[in-house]
C-alpha cells in the first residue's frame, strides 16, 4: 500500500488561505473630495469644502487664493479626524 501525502492549497481572491493572510479593498463608496468654488471675482474669493460621498463635511471662509482655500479645507479635515480618532483612545 502506497501512502500519499497530498496537500491542497486554498486561495481566496488570489491570496493563499493561511494565518496572517489579508485582503484589502478600498472603500470606493466613501468618495472623499475637495471642491473649490469661486464666490467673487473682484476681489477674488474662494471657498473650499470637503465632501464625503456628496455630503458636505467642512466649508472654509472665503479666502483670496484658491490653493489657500483648498489647503485650509484639508487641514480642517485632518484636525477633525485627529480629534475624532483620539477621543476613542
Q: What is the pLDDT of residue 38?
A: 94
Instruction: Pick 3 or 59 by higher pLDDT.
Output: 59
Between CA 22 and CA 28 the distance in angstroms is 18
In terms of phi and psi (left: phi > 0; alpha: psi -120 to 50; beta: otherwise), the region of 63 is: beta
Confidence at residue 23, expressed as pLDDT on a 0 to 100 scale: 84
For the chain, which residues make up each domain, given as ranges?
31-86
pTM of the predicted structure, to 2 decimals: 0.66
Q: Which helix (H) or strand (E) holds 36?
A: strand 32-40
Tell which wins on pLDDT, 61 or 89.
Answer: 61
Amino acid at each position: 500500500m502506497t501512502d500519499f501525502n497530498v496537500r491542497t492549497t486554498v486561495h481566496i481572491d488570489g491570496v493563499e488561505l493561511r494565518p496572517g493572510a489579508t485582503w484589502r479593498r478600498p472603500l470606493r463608496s466613501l468618495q472623499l473630495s475637495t471642491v473649490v468654488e469661486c464666490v467673487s471675482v473682484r476681489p477674488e474669493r474662494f471657498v473650499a469644502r470637503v465632501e464625503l460621498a456628496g455630503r458636505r463635511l467642512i466649508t472654509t471662509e472665503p479666502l483670496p487664493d484658491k490653493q489657500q482655500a483648498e489647503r485650509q479645507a484639508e487641514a480642517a479635515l485632518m484636525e477633525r479626524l485627529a480629534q475624532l480618532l483620539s477621543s476613542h483612545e
